[in-house]
Amino acid sequence: MLGGGGLIAVNTYASAGEGWGQSQNQTLGAGAAASTIKCPEVANGLSEVPDAARPEVDKELAAMDSQITEAYQRFAEQKEQVAQDPKFAENAVLGPLEDKRTASLDRIATAIDRAGERPEGLESMAACELQQDDADNGGQDGGDQGDGQDQGQENGGQGQDGGQDGGDQGDGNGGQAGNGPEQSDFVDIQSVQPNVSSPPAQQNASRGTFSTDCGVNENGKFNPDNVIVAPGVANGAHHMHDYVGNQANDAFASDDDLANGQTTCVDQGDKSTYYWPVLRLQNGQQENDANADGGGKDQNVGEIQTPSQVTLNFVGSPVSKVTAMPRFLRIITGDAKAFVNGNANANASWSCTGFEDRQLKDKYPICPEGSQVVRSFKFQSCWDGQNTDSANHRTHVAFAEANGACPNGFQAIPQLVQRIVYDVPPPVFDGANPSVFAVDSFPEQLHKPVTD
């Protein structure tokens, strides 16, 4: 970052270790309660990919995301038949999906084999299953899971009767998405107990903080690409991103493109690019991308909300000095597939201005009058000292331990703390014109807040 060319994204694949606790989602063979499709996350099993094989592997991983999207859309269109005949789901949805995934996994293994040692066991990740959304059965407790770092405990489940379908309305073009969120995905922030704590600064702490001001994407740069996770693949994210900072960012941007790109940052030396899934108001109003990839074609509908404020702060370590981020460092945080992957990598927090000592991970906040919605991300603050990226885009960086120290083999770097504020109306679930806000997601992730 200090070198002027880092890449910071809030998004995408999962592996172990970001520490929100474990998901209690229920999977099924098929049936009336099935809400979405759950597939093993192949990127989890690819911690080592030779550099020569990465382009083909990344392309196949992105193709597998498209396969799931297509299968989910087929499932959503034929839910009644799935509920009536469990074999229909296997024959019409899950079976064809497994065949496509098997072919992609074979191509991944072959690509790696040409440049290194062929991975074993990938074929076991081909099969997918149907999963139930617990919200369909009256909601779930949004609380008592800590992030293992500094968020403590949360209690986000009070005060909501849940179970009503706040999002299964509209035609998928201009109205609500038809695939979430649900009323039970929201909670009154005033019912949540304070749950934020931080490790105390020790004698050798680096106590400094610096900020970069790159605007709020007021110029409206959007695309559904992900240059880190799916380079060279258009619509690799299947949801729309806001961008601030470097304006050369799309799926096809090279390091040279980014180095020569323009920036929205006040400090013109900050050529880094920061991006995150957009927040929409599902209020029946069409957006310009209603018929486009990443938008309506991927069941992300409604008006994109421009943040009222974006703060990008870099914070020192509570236990040691920090070293500068290397140029072209890539970092992703959070998991855009956390609803089916589980919460191990979920890392976004939701809150309200005036209540930011209360953070939610798997609920959207209902804020009182005069208070605005806040999304926060505390990025990984430990680096392996060698690599600017890794095969799964995670293992070259790490989160600090609970006491603030980096794991063995890692050194402290400035921690990006990203805070995005929105002036959105509180959700309306009843009546002829329901309106809710929701983060863009892969279609099968049902716009759950945990997928931010």
- Give the separation between CA 13 and CA 61, rounded to whole angstroms: 10
Query: DSSP 3-state assignment of 144?
Result: coil
Question: What are the residue ranges spanned by the domains of the chain?
Answer: 7-24+141-451, 26-132
Q: How many CA atoms lie within 13 A of 125 on its CB side?
A: 19
Q: What token pair was written down for 384?
A: 């392996």
- Give the separation between CA 452 and CA 441, rounded to whole angstroms: 8
Q: What letter would DSSP give residue 139?
A: -
- Give the separation between CA 232 and CA 361, rounded to whole angstroms: 31
Q: What token pair was written down for 149?
A: 């770092």
> Angle, nearest 10°, between helix axes 54-77 and 95-115?
180
So what's the pLDDT on residue 176? Answer: 65
- Bin 86: left if φ > 0, else alpha if -120 < ψ < 50, else beta: alpha
So what's the pLDDT on residue 18? Answer: 40
Query: Of 339, 411, 447, whose CA–CA distance to 25 is shortest?
Result: 339
Question: Which residue pairs from 169-174 have beta carbons closer than 8 angstroms and sit at least 24 positions apart in sequence?
Answer: 169/434, 170/282, 170/284, 170/301, 172/296, 172/299, 172/301, 173/286, 173/290, 173/291, 173/296, 173/301, 174/284, 174/285, 174/286, 174/290, 174/301
- Give the separation between CA 413 and CA 397, rounded to whole angstroms: 10
pLDDT digits (tens, 9 = 90+) for 377-415: 999 999 999 999 999 999 999 999 999 999 999 999 999
For the chain, give the mean pLDDT: 85
**C-alpha distance from residue 21 to each of 10, 134, 299, 361, 388 (Å):** 19, 17, 28, 11, 27
Q: What token pair was written down for 345?
A: 């990598």
Query: DSSP 3-state assignment of 346?
Result: coil
User: Which residues does the chain have with pLDDT short of 70?
Assistant: 1-33, 135-176
So what's the pLDDT on residue 12? Answer: 37
- Give the separation between CA 218 and CA 244, rounded to whole angstroms: 9
- Give the separation between CA 399 and CA 406, rounded to whole angstroms: 7
**C-alpha distance from residue 241 to each of 100, 279, 392 (Å):** 27, 9, 20
Query: Of 209, 327, 214, whose CA–CA distance to 276 is shortest?
Result: 214
Contact yes or no for 126/331 (Cβ under 8 A) = no
226 burial (CB, 10 Å; 0-12 / 13-18 / 19+) is buried
The model carries a pTM of 0.85
Q: How many CA atoms lie within 13 A of 254 on its CB side?
A: 2
Are β-strands 273-277 and 241-245 bridged in parallel, bridged antiparallel, or unpaired?
antiparallel
Contact yes or no for 412/398 (Cβ under 8 A) = no
